Amino acid sequence: MSKRDFISVHDLTAAEFTGLLALAGEVKDQPGRFSQALAGQTLGMIFQKSSTRTRVSFEVGTLQLGGHALFLSSRDIQLGRGETISDTAQVLSRYVDGLIARTFDHQDVVDLARVGSIPVINGLTDDLHPCQVMADYLTLTEELGDLAGRKIAYIGDGNNVAHSLMFGAAKAGMHIAVASPAGYEVAEKYAALARDDAAAAGTEILLTDDPAAAAAGAHAVYTDVWASMGQEEEARQRLQDFEGFQVDAELMAEAASDAIFLHCLPAHRGEEVSAEVADGSQSRIFDQVENRLHAQNAIMLWLMGGAGLDTMVN
């Protein structure tokens, strides 16, 4: 059996997506059951971008599964500069049993997976953030139950989170609306792939510049920072360009009465979200944080621990 990687939610079948969420739920509910699943295995962790949630959750998760995590910062490994990506992938394949890579250039993760003989997990790139959205849809499943026919709204920058959320919506059978200011829309290549996924799933995608239209009737409203890592110099201009895109109580009122609020963090209260919403009764942002651990454990169990997903699918 050829090895699998976790690079994009788009690469998963709907059954695999559902199976991973079910497995994540099992891991969360019965942690002791999987405590030796990765015994004797090492997860290499390549980080070009710093992180709180990604590093801690993968290190803790690997330990919970009986394995060992090895952190490799940009000072430890010069990916694509001091050594070619091809050589890096082949060298690390001789030492560790799996890799998680958090990089700027999406192609770096693609190339690591293509050349390496071990499973590679995309911990975040400038294009995609699949581990985050697995946690998001796990949170949505816990809150809403069956996701089929539900609607999620994303308000803000058409970034890596927005791209992955679109893929996840189709796999979950959800409709999605994305509202971004002009010039900050989702990338067309990812929108096109998401439309293909939605067409196959019979779901709808709305891309708009109207936050209220996107939020209308939504069962979940999601946002992210307006200036992501590496965009700090654009922050002042973005504050102007994103005026009117804050998720506040008024915008949440456009959604369903029992809608929840989601954010991948870190959150800038007073910018993309009001403190009233971020810290209010509809917010589930810290449930998302916890679910990063469980969702990623499920991914590692699938790729490194030999967990089959077919038995997890209802």
Closest CA to 98 of 294, 297, 304: 304
Q: Token pair of 63, please?
A: 């330990």
What average pLDDT is seen over the chain? 94
pLDDT band at 247 (very low <50, low <70, confident <90, very high): very high
Cβ contact 138:151 at 8 Å = no
Domains of the chain and CATH, by start = 9-129+292-307 (3.40.50.1370), 132-289 (3.40.50.1370)
Crossing angle between the packed helical segments 285-303 and 53-64, to the nearest 10 degrees: 50
Q: Which of 108, 264, 284, 296 is catalytic?
A: 264
Q: What is the pLDDT of residue 51?
A: 87
Residue 131 catalytic? no
* 56: CB partners within 8 A, 6+ apart: none
| First and final C-alpha spacing in the chain | 24
178-195: pLDDT as tens digits: 999 999 999 999 999 999
pTM > 0.75 = yes
Cβ density class 84-100: b for 16+ within 10 Å, e for less = ebeebbeebbeebbbbb
Radius of gyration of the chain (CA): 19
Residue 237 catalytic? no
Q: What is the pLDDT of residue 314?
A: 38
Closest CA to 126 of 110, 97, 105, 155: 105
Question: Using CA atoms, how far apart are residues 84 and 90, in angstroms rounded to an integer?
Answer: 10
Q: What is the pLDDT of residue 232?
A: 72
Q: Which of 41, 48, 64, 132 is catalytic?
A: 132
Question: Using CA atoms, how far apart are residues 125 and 115, in angstroms rounded to an integer?
Answer: 18
Mean pLDDT across 63-85? 87
Q: Which of 53, 55, 102, 150 is catalytic?
A: 102
51-66: pLDDT as tens digits: 889 999 999 999 999 9
pLDDT reading at 235 higher than 90 = no
Residue 264 catalytic? yes
Cβ contact 242:228 at 8 Å = no
